[in-house]
Amino acid sequence: MDLAFTPEEQQFRDDIRAWVRDNLPADISHKVHNALRLSRDDMQRWGKILGKKGWLGYGWPKEFGGPGWTAVQKHLFEEECALAGAPRIVPFGPVMVAPVIMAFGSPAQQQRFLPGIASGEVWWSQGYSEPGSGSDLASLKTRAERRGDHYIVNGQKAWTTLGQYGEWIFCLVRTSSEGKPQTGISFLLIDMKSPGVTVRPVRLLDGECEVNEVFFDNVEVPAENLIGEENKGWTYAKHLLSHERTNIADVNRAKRELERLKRIAKTEGVWDDMRFRDQIALLEVDIVALEMLVLRVLSAEKSGKNSLDIAGLLKIRGSEIQQRYSELMMLAAGPYSLPLIHEAMEAGWQGDAAAGALGGFPGGVVANAPLASTYFNMRKTTIYGGSNEVQRTIVSQVVLG
């Protein structure tokens, strides 16, 4: 038993840190460190920088052009990126669909799709949830009917994150209504420029358009875009979920945000209020405990042991912590988190010139502008990716059978 990383792992961390320091654009990290609005260009610019280095698909094995890193190395990479203020990698291409294409796609599909994902050129979206299929995903109704060498797709996907930027979308579609709901689902890749695809952004409670509805109206999809076998899509999707282990806890971002919370608390004068500070201390304990949980899962993976009984806890705890730090940031600013000035969430906002001396952000600290929006936005974390109640049901099976 040993808490320390090996000298090789430490060296790896140092190398990553140096590279990120030299390659992460300062304007992007400034936005991330202050929760300012990231544009599509910001996200894709960082993705392409990573792609050029061969690290956008940082979880990929060497045979598909990835770095072939160990679970620990992947963790260290994620941590260094997060602490430096890099945007989260848009996961739909490199983290979500690529492993499915590698495991179940044909060589032709791999050659066709993986390069664009690895380089960050092609923006992918995820088409899983539907208006009537949230936690009960297998009840999905979007239909794909085989007509010769193509499918005709009809239906509607919901909660498609950043789908307004999407060029391709991987979808779970119903190809059969026989047997159990899970056995009639297929995994289909769809070009979002196809006629009949409509994307409608949905404004969320924070005023931003982060998710979309995607409509399919008699969309023709070449049969060659089917991954694996028809009606096996559920199995492939589950493979994808099993791929996401420690990253889902997002503990590295939580460590960065804890630093930010402390800065905000000091600026807002609540750092010396013991009642408030103890809440930060408790969050610090929560984050260290989550990090230990993550390290235990990594250690188990390293030694080839089954860590499933604790991996299921990571999503629950990680999301609760995300909600908590955003809540404490908002509460630290108190009334100065309340003004809703959208422009103040853009980098470089200089205030409202027409209002003269009163044109700045109320209270004078523009860093407070996005705090409440972030708090509202973070309510999603205990809902998405399998709601925390669904996760509890899964965890309880480990304990109770």
Partner 1 sequence: MDFDFSDDQQQLRDAVRKWVDKGYDFERRRKAVAAGGFDRAAYNELAELGLAGLYVPEADGGLGMGPVEGMVVMEELGRGIVLEPLAQTLIAGGVLSGYAGDTLKAPWLPKISAGEALVVLAYQERRGRYQLGACETTATQSGAAWSLNGLKNVVAAGDQADAFIVPATVNGQIALFLVERGAAGVATRGYGTQDGARAADLQLTNAPASLITTDGLVALEHAIDIGIAAACAEAVGVMDKTVAITAEYMNTRKQFGVPIASFQALRHRMADVKMQLELARSMSYYASLKLNAPVDERRRALARAKVQLGNSMRFVGQQAVQLHGGIGVTDEYIVSHYFKKLTQLEMTFGDTLHHLGEVSARMQDTAGVFA
Where do contacts with partner 1 occur on this chain (CB under 8 A)?
1-6, 9, 72, 255, 258-259, 262, 274, 277-278, 280-282, 284-293, 295-296, 298-300, 302-303, 305, 310, 313, 316-317, 389, 391-393, 395-396, 398-401
Per DSSP, the three-state class of 378 is helix
Name which of 52, 54, 50, 61 is nearest 88 in CA terms. Answer: 50
Q: Which residues contact 58 (CB under 8 A, 6 or more apart)?
A: 50, 66, 67, 69, 74, 77, 78, 89, 94
Residue 96 is classified by DSSP as I
User: N- to C-terminal Cα distance for the chain?
Assistant: 30
Residue 253 structure tokens: 């971002």
59: burial class by Cβ within 10 Å (0-12, 13-18, 19+)? buried
Chain centroid, CA 110 distance in Å: 23
* Least distance from partner 1 to the Cβ atom of residue 84, Å: 13
Name which of 321, 319, 330, 313 is nearest 255 in CA terms. Answer: 321
* Least distance from partner 1 to the Cβ atom of residue 78, Å: 13
* Least distance from partner 1 to the Cβ atom of residue 310, Å: 5
* Least distance from partner 1 to the Cβ atom of residue 374, Å: 20
CA distance 82 to 49: 15
* Least distance from partner 1 to the Cβ atom of residue 389, Å: 7
The residue among 150 and 296 lying less far from partner 1, judged by its C-beta, is: 296
The residue among 182 and 299 lying less far from partner 1, judged by its C-beta, is: 299
The residue among 241 and 289 lying less far from partner 1, judged by its C-beta, is: 289
The residue among 3 and 353 lying less far from partner 1, judged by its C-beta, is: 3
* Least distance from partner 1 to the Cβ atom of residue 317, Å: 7
CA distance 214 to 216: 7
The residue among 207 and 269 lying less far from partner 1, judged by its C-beta, is: 269
Per DSSP, the three-state class of 206 is coil
The residue among 241 and 274 lying less far from partner 1, judged by its C-beta, is: 274
Sign of CA dihedral 237, 240, 245, 246: negative
Torsion, CA 368, CA 370, CA 374, CA 376, rounded to 10: 100
* Least distance from partner 1 to the Cβ atom of residue 144, Å: 34
The residue among 185 and 395 lying less far from partner 1, judged by its C-beta, is: 395
